[in-house]
């Protein structure tokens, strides 16, 4: 018997059971719901039932098959990430580049699975938003369902201020000034080998990014990106559309340049994608207080900027005061 607290209130019973009964196939979860073996306050419920605070849920005994040897050999490793903020409602971390936010699409596990493994006592822990695997920076998780619902509402209503730093290759056009808005619609599609991609397409989803020039050198620039919508790969595709591909972007970038920059002794050199979620501003989901989280630019990105500065000594790169 499980009594529902604030952490699970509002959650659908099927999702709650999938979480409580780790390793049990979805088909079995839905079977025990249909058969009435799961009871809420001594009554039958369907899979769409939303739990309420104080509900008593009976979870029947469930036998599960022995895990395969492969699964036993590769457990999810617990991981600890740099914490930018934490309270009873939310957890904000600085995600490193190269780590997926969740498992799937050939990735065995990600940040969410590793954090759940590291915090077995946590009753509720869910991603509020996503970052691409090769993007670093501010990543927010909810520790209560009510917080998750509130934060998703802020995202839908564009009340969160998300800022990224992007290192790009190309020339920032002089007639753009310091600020360039892009409102090109984006369309998701799959490549012939099943890989997810995005392109600018007239009948795509409305998308809006604002780019602010922070600093520029011959052939390169450091930009601040403001996300006004949150489409998949939005910043990367909008920049490629401007002929300013992100340095190190393996999907939409300049592949020959990326290969040169990744060479051991390259100057400037970079072996990752230069996209970093450096700032997030929002209202606290419980108190409404304004919060701002910042993740410092990673060392490899700072080194790339330092090398550009060194290579262009004697010239005066244009600089802005963003950030």
In this prediction the pTM is 0.78
What is the chain's alpha carbon radius of gyration, rounded to the nearest angstrom? 23
2-58 and 69-142 in the same fold: no
Q: Which CATH architecture has domain 69-142?
A: 2-Layer Sandwich (3.30)
Reported as a single tens digit per residue, the pLDDT across 69-114 is 444 445 777 778 999 999 999 999 999 999 999 876 567 788 998 9
**Which residues contact residue 89 at a Cβ distance below 8 angstroms, ignoring those fewer than 6 apart?**
142, 143, 144, 146, 147, 284, 285, 286
Determine the pLDDT at residue 123.
Answer: 82
293 confidence band (pLDDT: 50, 70, 90) = very high
Percent of the chain with pLDDT over 90: 66
Whether 61 shows a pLDDT value over 80: the answer reads yes
Q: Which of 55, 132, 249, 254 does the annotation list as catalytic?
A: 132
Question: 120 or 212, which is more confident?
Answer: 212
CATH superfamily of 2-58: RNA-binding S4 domain (3.10.290.10)
- Concatenating the DSSP letter of every residue in 17-44 gives HHHHSTT--HHHHHHHHHTT-SEETTB-
pLDDT at residue number 151: 96
Domain ranges in the chain are: 2-58, 69-142, 160-319
DSSP classification of residue 108? S
Q: What is the CATH number of domain 160-319?
A: 3.30.2350.10
Question: What average pLDDT does the structure give for the chain?
Answer: 89
Residue 82 is a catalytic residue: no
User: In whole angstroms, how far apart are CA 57 and each of 66, 86, 261?
Assistant: 26, 30, 56
């Amino acid at each position: 018997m499980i009594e529902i607290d604030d952490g699970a209130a509002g959650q659908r019973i099927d999702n709650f059971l999938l979480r409580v009964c780790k390793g049990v196939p979805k088909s079995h979860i839905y079977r025990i719901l249909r058969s009435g073996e799961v009871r809420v306050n001594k009554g039958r419920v369907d899979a769409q039932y939303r739990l309420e605070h104080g509900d008593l849920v009976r979870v029947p005994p469930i036998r599960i098959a022995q895990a395969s040897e492969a699964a036993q050999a590769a457990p999810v490793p617990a991981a600890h990430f740099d914490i930018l903020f934490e309270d009873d409602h939310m957890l904000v971390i600085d995600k490193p580049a190269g780590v997926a936010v969740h498992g799937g699409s050939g990735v065995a596990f990600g940040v969410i699975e590793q954090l759940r493994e590291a915090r077995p006592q946590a009753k509720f822990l869910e991603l509020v938003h996503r970052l691409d695997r090769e993007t670093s920076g501010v990543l927010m998780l909810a520790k209560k369902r009510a917080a998750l619902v509130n934060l998703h509402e802020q995202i839908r209503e564009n009340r969160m201020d998300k800022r990224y730093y992007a290192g790009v290759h190309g020339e920032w056009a002089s007639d753009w000034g310091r600020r360039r808005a892009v409102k090109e619609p984006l369309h998701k599609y799959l490549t012939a080998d099943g890989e997810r991609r995005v392109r600018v397409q007239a009948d795509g989803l409305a998308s809006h990014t604002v780019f602010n020039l922070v600093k520029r050198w011959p052939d390169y620039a450091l930009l601040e990106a403001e996300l006004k919508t949150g489409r998949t790969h939005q910043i990367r595709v909008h920049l490629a559309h401007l002929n300013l591909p992100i340095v190190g972007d393996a999907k939409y970038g300049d592949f020959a340049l990326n290969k040169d920059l990744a060479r051991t002794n390259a100057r400037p050199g970079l072996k990752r994608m230069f996209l970093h979620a450096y700032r997030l501003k929002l209202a606290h989901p419980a108190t409404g207080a304004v919060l701002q989280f910042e993740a410092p630019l990673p060392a490899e990105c700072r080194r790339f900027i330092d090398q550009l500065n060194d290579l262009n000594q004697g010239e005066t790169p244009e600089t802005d005061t963003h950030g």
